[in-house]
Amino acid sequence: MTKHKIHIVKNLVTAIVVTLFFSCTNDFSEIQKVGVLQNQPISEANLIDLKYTKFEDDTVRLLANLMSPKMLDYSNRKFKFSEFPDGIELRTYDDDGNRTTITSKYAIHYPQTDIIDLQGNVRIITHQNDTLFTEQLFYNQKLEWLFTNEPWKYGTLHGIGFDSDKSFENFQMLEMGGDFELDN
């Protein structure tokens, strides 16, 4: 009888193990879907019109106005970013209310580094109608610093690569060209 009980226990254990083995599925397509979902933006906004303001002396002053047809928010990633796949128009205002307009066909903002990467037909038009053209421009928000390694044109000046503060008062060219005068 003991052999018979051992045989029943072995059969029972075998049946349970086989049932568990076949009930566990490894559906690779389901696993892939999880990975795709993690790569999707956490949110999407269409036709955005964001206004950045500052409250001082009982008045609200407009600092900047960001407009874009589409924004994708990837703040669900370890290295967070916001993507503007259809471009941006950014209007900034100085203390006197003078407007500078920045446009590009594509932009990406990295809040952890305060870097904005503008790409494709980047154009900056100052309130004095001076215009900078380039294909890619980086802006460091914390340092208020612009830089590129791409060809650029600003008035009669042109070159490849530059670094500058946001007001173009501290402007350094990597390679220069065009017509300009040097003061002694």
- DSSP result, 37-51: HHHS-SEEEEEEEEE
**For residue range 10-20, what is the model confidence (pLDDT) as tens digits?**
666 566 666 65
For the chain, domain boundaries: 45-178
Non-local (6+) Cβ contacts of 28 within 8 A are none
Pick the CATH number of 45-178 from 3.30.1330.100, 3.20.20.70, 3.40.50.300, 2.60.450.10: 2.60.450.10
At 109, the pLDDT band (50, 70, 90 cuts) reads very high
Question: Model pTM greater than 0.85?
Answer: no
d(CA 182, CA 184): 7
Residue 33, pLDDT above cutoff 70: no
- Enter the DSSP assignment of 83: E
At 142, the pLDDT band (50, 70, 90 cuts) reads confident
- Enter the DSSP assignment of 78: S
**For residue range 57-93, what is the model confidence (pLDDT) as tens digits?**
888 888 889 999 999 999 988 889 999 999 999 988 8
Q: How many CB atoms lie within 10 A of CB 133?
A: 15
Query: Which pLDDT score is estimated for 128?
Result: 87
Residue 130, pLDDT above cutoff 50: yes
